[in-house]
Structure 1
Amino acid sequence: MLAFCMLPFSCIKDHKVEHFIIDKSASAMEWKGYLKDGSGNNGTIKVTGRLFAAEPGMITGGQISFPLSSLININLPTDELKQQLIHHLQSRDFFDMATYPHIRFDIISMVPDKDISHTYHVAGELIMLGKSNPVSFPVKIKLQGERLEVTGETGIDRTLWGMNYASDESAPDGMYVKPGIDVQFKVVALRKVH
């Protein structure tokens, strides 16, 4: 989820707060979950939201949203199996989309890595199932004109948000889903023209 907030660039004029809007068509996050034997499923979810910058070279925050209605599976062999998995992920066993239609990431800070060029450490709060937990991870940033591209990867433990379905490690193969979810993301944000 991601960290597109790190504009180390002079994008702000006269110290006014500027908004950077995430380009939904150019941005996506890929997810992967695992069974006990190491196999698993993967897919994508869309990314929306905006970033805020209050002075040149400094992003001060932002809200990133992941609509659960946009969940897609890409590895299963048939559309029927893909839909079965997605409906299960959207059910109360996992993300409970009917009650919580979005996952949200609120950016709190982003700090440059002193040793690795164009790399930053983003910290924020990830909100799922109505519960918030702190997360942090590294990102890489590339600016081309008004186009900001942020890429990175991280992992989360779903049980920290109370998503405990099939989390009993003593269960037989096929009945245990590992708590860890791996994500990779590419986010493109464009400066909003007033």
Structure 2
Amino acid sequence: MKKMILPALLAASLFAAPAFAQKPAVKKTNPGTEKAASVAYAVQPQLSTLGWVGKKVTGQHNGNIQFKDGNVLVRGNQIVGGTFVVDMNSLKVEDIKEQEYNGKLVGHLRSEDFFSIDKNPTSTFKITSLTPLKGDANGNNATVNGDLTIKGITKPISFPAKVGVKNGVASASGTATIDRTKYDIKYGSKSFFESIGDKAIMDEFTMSFNVIAKK
């Protein structure tokens, strides 16, 4: 009797095995472990500002330029990325009030010596990462890292900023220092023309920004 029962049980188990094998394994998930999707907030050019200062041995000039468009990526209540497009054709000089000389400087900045605006009507900045910043004397709470493109040349850049998200509005403000020679803007640079004397223009210029983006 035992000899008959054992083969029967063995046969039953062999026929049943494929049925169990076909059932897919259940993948356990832990709620909250997956990253929430980021939301794009639209940059508001009419509410945002972008100012520049360029220095030379004998003084300095300043002006402004406008954002064309862009977006800020928000996850939860934090800024995690973004892309910003600057309208180079909007470049203005503010410190020279005399119209003729103002126009001459604007024309020179638009030329091949500087930003070659006819060929490169926009510049862009794309955030690659943000890291927390503590104890900054100016109230900045993050270091912004990203890729800046001027005259079609892209280089990495980092700068401190104050960033935040509140009530459907993302904001970022601060000042970035840019080495123009990295973007093939060498006119008047003592790094390339040693004998230029007091006509030298500093390699670095600053861009002060206040960006507002809305959901």
Normalised to the residue count of structure 2, the TM-score between the two structures is 0.75
Aligned residues: 175
Deviations 1:49-85 (A, max 9, x none): 11223x4244442211111101011100212222211
Q: For 1:28, which of 33, 49, 58 is the aligned residue? A: 49
The 5 A counterparts of 1:88-99 are 88-99=108-119
Partner AA of 2:151 in structure 1: L
Higher percent of residues as helix: 2
The 5 A counterparts of 1:98-177 are 98-115=118-135, 119-167=141-189, 168-173=193-198, 175-177=199-201
Deviations 1:2-41 (A, max 9, x none): xxxxxxxxxxxx934421111111111110111113x111
Provide the alpha-carbon RMSD of the alignment. Answer: 1.9
Distance (Å, rounded) in 2 between the aligned partners of 1:135 and 1:16: 26
Distance (Å, rounded) in 2 between the aligned partners of 1:102 and 1:46: 10
Question: How high is the sequence identity, in percent, across the aligned residues?
Answer: 27
CA contact under 8 A between 1:118 and 1:142: conserved in structure 2? no
> Unaligned 5+ residue runs, structure 1?
1-13
Partner AA of 1:154 in structure 2: A
CA contact under 8 A between 1:156 and 1:180: conserved in structure 2? yes
The 5 A counterparts of 1:68-87 are 68-87=88-107
Task: Compute the displacement of 1:156 (Å).
Answer: 1.0
Larger Rg: 2
Normalised to the residue count of structure 1, the TM-score between the two structures is 0.82
Deviations 1:70-117 (A, max 9, x none): 101110021222221111111111001111111111110011124457
Partner AA of 2:48 in structure 1: S
> Unaligned 5+ residue runs, structure 2?
1-34
Which structure exhibits the higher relative contact order, with contacts defined as CA atoms closer than 8 Å and separated by 6 or more residues?
A: 1
